[in-house]
């Protein structure tokens, strides 16, 4: 096959990226960004401590730490499309079943079950599909594929809040369960395909002569095969990168899972708090797409500094929002854009550092590290609240942690340039 795109019309890779947007709306937008909305109403209704119920949400991430590497290995051998369908049915059914829980251990058990299958609908399958379908414009495609997390959160957080207030938290869980199955099966059955060869195509690539569709020329995607998982684990780049990823997970979930509770604690009405979160998720939606283009155009360094700088400013805004409500809206801008690095940024950087050779296996490991952080972050914020009666201490700690993450990722990039970039040049 000499063609890298269809002779007429859009390359099918962009359709796959759009379908992946729906999957990320569920796997990240719902499971990672929206379930925190239940922490306060369920804890209050059932008489649970927030820290203890937060642990139920953390169970979803905790179990993923152990199973994500296996999902990555499975995706090297089994159809990602089929794995998405299986995971959707199990997770949707589990969400529906949570509505019948009356004991804390029951919440824990079902969140563990969701965690076991979350690898089938998380960023792992989405980014793996993008890595297979795109050589050029990977950042832009990754932004499209992962921006669904912002779209899902923007829609679901206020919707869950309204259903919980108007009906019950049980009704909200049942709605989410049914919706999860329907949307995931729609995307997987009709649009997602595992590889370009399934459609008689090659991966999307911009050539020297011009783009895949015959438009103006642009950057040519790398043709480096990359490293195996075992080779990547031996590099100093991976060591710094791993530490930064764990801390990113802490920052991400420590903020996202408790933002609704924090805003209502500082006297924002439930509807207003939901609206603020929706605005931040809209910024997240746009931010992922923009960040992907920034990585494509300006490189990894600029993308890292910009996104984590916004992350730091988000915590400043949350601290200030307690005395001036205007800062809650400033948080929407910085928080929405900063959080985008947890999906499109990390997925792009993983491919950039280590290549596509065993991407799903390497990113499965990276996802586990991110989940270690998210497990710690959700629970840490809950227990800090229980201890001090406020989230302000958590925001101060997380602001300082952002500075550490920037340092670690800068070291990882320097190690890449010194140790791995020469290998890439030799293979060209």
Domain limits, the chain = 12-198+222-422
pLDDT confidence of residue 223: 57
Phi, psi of 46 (to 5 degrees): -95, -10
pLDDT at 5: 44
- pLDDT recorded at residue 207: 63
Q: pLDDT tens digit string along 303-357?
A: 889 999 999 999 999 999 999 989 999 999 998 888 887 778 898 899 889 988 8
Beta bridge partners, 204, equal 134
**In the chain, which residues have pLDDT < 50?**
1-5, 7-8, 208-210, 213-220
- Which pLDDT does position 1 carry in this prediction? 41
Q: How far apart are CA 224 and CA 352, in angstroms?
A: 10
The phi, psi pair for 204, rounded to 5°, reads -65, 130
Which tokens belong to 245?
Answer: 């990823």
- Collapsing DSSP to helix, strand or coil, 402 comes out as helix
Mean pLDDT of the residues in the chain: 87
C-alpha to C-alpha distance for 412 and 237, rounded to whole angstroms: 4
Contacts of 348 (CB under 8 A, 6+ apart): 138, 139, 142, 292, 295, 300, 303
User: What is the rounded distance in angstroms from the CA atom of residue 133 to the CA atom of residue 47?
Assistant: 48
Residue 425: its pLDDT value, please? 61
Provide the pLDDT for residue 46: 93
Distance CA 424, CA 412 (A): 16
Which residue matches tokens 């439930």?
270
Residue 117 pLDDT: 95
Q: Which residue has the tokens 């159809």?
A: 79
pTM of the model: 0.78
> Taking the domain 12-198+222-422, which CATH number applies?
1.20.1250.20
Extract the runs of DSSP E, i.e. beta strands, from 156-306.
none
Segments in 75-215 forming alpha helices (H) = 80-98, 104-117, 123-133, 138-146, 148-166, 169-190
Cβ count within 10 A of residue 213 = 15
Predicted confidence at residue 28, as pLDDT, reads 84
Annotate 44-101 with DSSP letters as a single string: HHHT--HHHHHHHHHHHHHHHHHHHHHHHHHTTTS-HHHHHHHHHHHHHHHHHHHTT-
State how far the Cα of 88 lies from the Cα of 367, in Å rounded to an integer: 19
Rounded to whole angstroms, the Cα distance separating 311 from 398 reads: 9
């Amino acid at each position: 096959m000499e063609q890298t795109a269809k002779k007429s019309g859009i390359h099918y890779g962009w359709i796959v990226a759009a379908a992946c947007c729906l999957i990320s709306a569920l796997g990240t937008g719902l499971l990672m960004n929206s379930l925190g909305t239940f922490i306060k109403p369920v804890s209050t209704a059932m008489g649970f401590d927030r820290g203890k119920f937060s642990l139920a949400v953390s169970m979803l991430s905790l179990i993923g730490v152990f199973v994500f590497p296996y999902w990555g290995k499975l995706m090297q051998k089994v159809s990602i499309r089929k794995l998405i369908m299986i995971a959707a049915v199990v997770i949707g059914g589990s969400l529906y079943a949570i509505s019948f829980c009356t004991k804390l251990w029951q919440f824990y058990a079902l969140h563990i079950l969701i965690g076991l299958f979350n690898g089938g609908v998380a960023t792992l399958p989405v980014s793996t599909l993008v890595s297979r379908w795109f050589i050029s414009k990977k950042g832009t495609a990754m932004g499209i594929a992962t921006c669904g997390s912002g779209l899902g959160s923007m829609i679901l957080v206020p919707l869950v809040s309204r259903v919980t207030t108007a009906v019950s938290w049980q009704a909200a869980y049942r709605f989410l369960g049914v919706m999860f199955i329907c949307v995931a099966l729609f995307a997987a059955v009709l649009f997602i395909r595992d590889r370009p060869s399934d459609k008689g195509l090659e991966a999307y690539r911009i050539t020297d002569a011009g783009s895949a569709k015959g438009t103006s020329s642009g950057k040519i995607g790398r043709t480096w095969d990359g490293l195996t998982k075992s080779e990547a684990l031996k590099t100093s780049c991976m060591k710094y990168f791993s530490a930064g990823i764990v801390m990113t997970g802490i920052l991400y979930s420590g903020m996202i899972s408790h933002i609704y509770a924090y805003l209502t604690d500082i006297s924002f009405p439930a509807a207003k708090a939901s609206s603020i979160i929706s605005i931040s998720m809209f910024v997240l939606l746009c931010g992922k797409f923009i960040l992907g283009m920034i990585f494509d155009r300006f490189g990894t360094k600029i993308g890292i500094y910009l996104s984590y700088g916004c992350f730091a400013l988000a915590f400043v805004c949350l601290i200030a929002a307690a005395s001036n409500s205007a800062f809650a809206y400033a948080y929407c801008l910085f928080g929405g854009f900063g959080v985008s690095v947890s999906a499109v940024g990390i997925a792009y950087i993983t491919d950039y550092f280590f290549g596509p050779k065993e991407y799903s296996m390497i990113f499965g490991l990276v996802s586990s590290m991110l989940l270690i952080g998210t497990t710690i972050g959700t629970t840490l914020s809950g227990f800090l609240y229980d201890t001090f009666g406020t989230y302000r201490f958590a925001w101060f700690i997380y602001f300082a942690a952002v500075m550490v993450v920037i340092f670690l990722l800068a070291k990882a990039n320097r190690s890449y340039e010194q140790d791995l970039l020469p290998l890439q040049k030799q293979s060209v």
